[in-house]
Amino acid sequence: MLSYRHAFHAGSFVDVHKHITLRMLLKALRKKESAFCYIDTHAGAGSYDLQSEYAQKNREYETGISRIAAAEDPPAEVAEYLEAVKAVNPRKVKERGEFRYYPGSPLFAKQLLRKQDRMLLMELHNTEAPILRSGFRDDRQVTVFHGDAFVSLNANLPPKERRGLVLIDPPYEIKNEFQVLTQALVKAWRKWPTGIYAVWYPLQGNQPVPQFHYDLRTAGLRRIFIHEFSVIPDTEPNRLAGTGMLVINPPWHFSEEIEALLKWLVPALDRGAGRPPRCEWLVSE
Ligand code: SAM
């Protein structure tokens, strides 16, 4: 039984980090004319109402999108990300300078697909998957798989385009989620070693992130870049303190660009962690 619902967390600092990264990777893929395929293994519902009971419970968007929505002169990547959020909101809401709706990763990606590109969305949850499917009904660029992320991923690799991005964004609710993820990632990479893979992971005291990094470092994969930051002090094992992303085969200059961007974003989202971000290659060429 899956209990995670992304609506509780929509627009949080994690989403801001993840979705800006996602947009940067997709924009890099758009630099070449040839088609790409975007695969979202844990797609969620696709879009979220920030006024819903779920989102209002902890108002997590106040740790993320709300902190930067009115930023003066943000970097171009942040400004474009804010425009992408505005695009899914009705005009009246935008005029009041607030956001009612927040796009999930599938909607951010959809905004950047060209007519030659494709998107494969995977979601296991029995409530979320039908919502996701109805959001993309009659959209021939989009295929929704209602089932397990890694079974669906394995069945669809390599995509026929031979170019593209896989976003892996699990809820980390089950104990061995990192192990399952590592095995699936290594298997996927063996089938499609030239694809870009972006994996989100939590920075939280009780999560085995160093082991996850070690396992990937020693698995034979190449070109793995991580970037991560905390927004609150990491003092409680069960409290999410920060956000990390691991990118395999990042596009040219991505590592420098994200490092530069985090110099602006991390102070903007910080609530007492007071630490600089960590940006490094786990494995280079
Ligand atoms: N990627 C989404 C976004 O950025 O808008 C958020 C995804 S949320 C963090 C994780 C999603 O994974 C949840 O919707 C959950 O139902 C789904 N999920 C959990 N286990 C799964 C599995 N084994 N296969 C596919 N989806 C799964």
Supply the residue whose CA is at minimum distance from atom 16 of ligand 1. 125
Average pLDDT, stretch 99-109?
97
pLDDT tens digits for range 24-69: 999 999 999 999 999 999 999 999 999 999 999 999 999 999 999 9
pLDDT tens digits for range 122-178: 999 999 999 999 999 999 999 999 999 999 999 999 999 999 999 999 999 998 999
pLDDT of residue 3: 77
Beta bridge partners, 118, equal 37
Cα 231 to Cα 211: distance, rounded to the nearest angstrom: 22
CB 134 within 8 A of CB 158: no
Q: Is the CB of 2 under 6 A from ligand 1?
A: yes
Cα 54 to Cα 50: distance, rounded to the nearest angstrom: 8
Active site includes 73?
no
CB 189 within 8 A of CB 221: yes
Supply the residue whose CA is at minimum distance from atom 14 of ligand 1. 44
The domains of the chain, with CATH numbers, are 16-48+103-283 (3.40.50.150)
